[in-house]
Structure 1
């Protein structure tokens, strides 16, 4: 899995990296993150959100193996 500081976690948080998934929980989590960044956020918020997304992937690594493989390319 990618390091928690990898740029792709920030790209997922802002919607710059689109990830097609059938996992409803992940879809909801990413939609919430992306909508948060549709307006300006305080400094550090992007890093915090990227870390939350990474944590979600770590927690559900077995369920999200396909998505992790896509992101890791």
Structure 2
């Protein structure tokens, strides 16, 4: 699993890294995160959101094994 501070989590949060997934919960979670950054956010919000995404992946690591392998490349 990528480190919590790895740039990939911020890329997922902003939508600059597109992750193809069949997992509906992950799709909804990422869509919410990406839509948050369609308008300017206060300082620190990107880091907070990236940490939330990382935590989501930690919590559901077994269910998201395929997605983890995709983002770790």
Please give the TM-score of this superposition, normalised by the length of structure 2. Answer: 1.00
Asked whether 1:33 is paired with 2:25, we answer no
Q: Any stretches of 5+ residues in structure 2 without a counterpart?
A: none
What number of residue pairs does the alignment pair up?
Answer: 73
Summarize deviations over 1:15-65 as a string: whole Å, max 9, x none: 000000000000000000000000000000000000000000000000000
Runs of 5+ consecutive residues of structure 1 not aligned to the other structure: none
> Is 1:72–2:72 an aligned residue pair?
yes
CA distance in 1, matches of 2:25, 2:70: 17
Which residue is equivalent to 2:15? 15
Please, what is the CA RMSD of the aligned residues? 0.1
The TM-score with structure 1 as length reference comes to: 1.00
Q: Which 4+ residue blocks in structure 1 deviate beyond 3 angstroms?
A: none
